[in-house]
Amino acid sequence: MKAVCIEKPWSVHVKEVERVEPNYEESVIKVHAAGICGSDLGAFRGTNNIVSYPRIIGHEIAGEVISVGTKNPNNIKVGDRVVIDPYTYCGHCYPCSLGKTNCCRNIKVRGVHIDGGMSEYFTHYTDMLIKIPEGLEWERAALAEPLTIALHAIHRLKLQKGEHIVVFGAGTIGLLVAMASLAYEAIPIIVDIVDERLDLARSLGVPYTINPKRDNTEQKVVEFTNGAYAECACEASGASPSIRSSFDVVCHAGRVAFTGYPKGETTLPTDIITKKELDVLGTRNSKGCFQEALELIASRKVDVEKIITKVVPVDEAPETLKDIEKNPGNYLKVVVKF
Ligand SMILES: [Zn+2]
Ligand SMILES: [Zn+2]
């Protein structure tokens, strides 16, 4: 079968590989769509130190079940259309004992620590397959995984209707956080240094945008909230100035979530955390969010189609990945179609 494989940093190809034989806990899926993610780019650049090589990438996978193992707690059937939960976990470490399998100490993410699903067929645990609503197209279904990342951040923040949330970074995750916030009837304020991205955010219904190259972020948030500051902030850029700014834009007793990965060490103003008694939350992967994500996508309460830049056939995936690396500003989500 064909698979998109990163042999080593800066070397990506479509190659012919053997299909993986499933065991009793696993199913085989005929893949129809696979999203290209920022982490696939990190694997290509060699900047993600948890990736080992060679690696078949892809963790945003939608496809059709063609065989099912005997251990099948969710009654998955041949012919079911599914997406995959790619975060495999050990089940016996401390985070797993709390049900926080998204931050399992021994986590193995598909396409990162172990082979992913950007291939014609994919073998994965049957209990980590989620059926997709009838009529939902493969391309949109593949965006369930990135939407779960946004939803997990929102759940960590306990975002409520009517609250303001400042979202730093108008990339795929930041825009999905903003769109999901709108579905929660909260009020997103998005911060990015690229005007085109802010225009796009507004076209998605985001009422307030800030370009920190032009405006003072804190002052703008004060203006947009009538002096009250935001109840929540979600940092989805990983840029140091945004990380710093996230503490300034929230109100006393506010909540701040960090989903972006900074490139280096960052200094934190713990005096502000204490003075405002902030809840500062890490947020990583997702846990139990796939069903909600699929419903939001199918109903178009979160219209993920608007952030799909391009759909490409598998043979064009390597060149597309290289182009995304060279011109990241030209792309949001790219979906590889099989
Ligand atoms: Zn992803
Ligand atoms: Zn674990």
DSSP for 71-136 reads --TT---TT-EEEE--EE--SSSHHHHTT-GGG-TT-EEBTTTB--S-BSEEEEEGGGEEEPPTT-
Say how many CA atoms lie within 13 Å of 265 toward its Cβ: 1
Domains of the chain by residue range:
2-131+303-337, 147-282
**Dihedral-angle region of residue 323 (phi above 0 means left; psi in -120 to 50 means alpha; beta otherwise):** alpha
Q: How far is the CA of 36 from the centre of ligand 1 (A)?
A: 7
Nearest to 261 by CA among 201, 173, 148: 173
**Which ligand ends up closest to the CA of 286?**
1
Segment 235-252, tens digit of pLDDT: 999 999 999 999 999 999
Neighbours of ion ligand 2 (CB under 5 A): 89-90, 93, 96, 104
pLDDT below 70 — which residues of the chain? none
Segment 138-151, tens digit of pLDDT: 999 999 999 999 99
Distance CA 333, CA 179 (A): 15
Q: Look at residue 284 in the predicted model and tell me its pLDDT.
A: 96
Distance CA 31, CA 9 (A): 25
Q: Look at residue 48 in the predicted model and tell me its pLDDT.
A: 84
Planar angle of CA 89, 285, 317, nearest 5 degrees = 100
Neighbours of ion ligand 1 (CB under 5 A): 37
Q: How far is the CA of 268 from the centre of ligand 1 (A)?
A: 27
Superfamily for domain range 147-282: NAD(P)-binding Rossmann-like Domain (3.40.50.720)
- Do the Cβ atoms of 186 and 209 come closer than 8 Å? no
Q: How far is the CA of 95 from the centre of ligand 2 (A)?
A: 6
Q: Look at residue 246 in the predicted model and tell me its pLDDT.
A: 97
**Which ligand ends up closest to the CA of 103?**
2
Distance CA 142, CA 100 (A): 23
Residues facing residue 313 across a β-bridge: 337
Q: How far is the CA of 300 from the centre of ligand 1 (A)?
A: 20
CATH class of 2-131+303-337: alpha beta
Q: Look at residue 329 in the predicted model and tell me its pLDDT.
A: 86
Q: How far is the CA of 253 from the centre of ligand 1 (A)?
A: 31
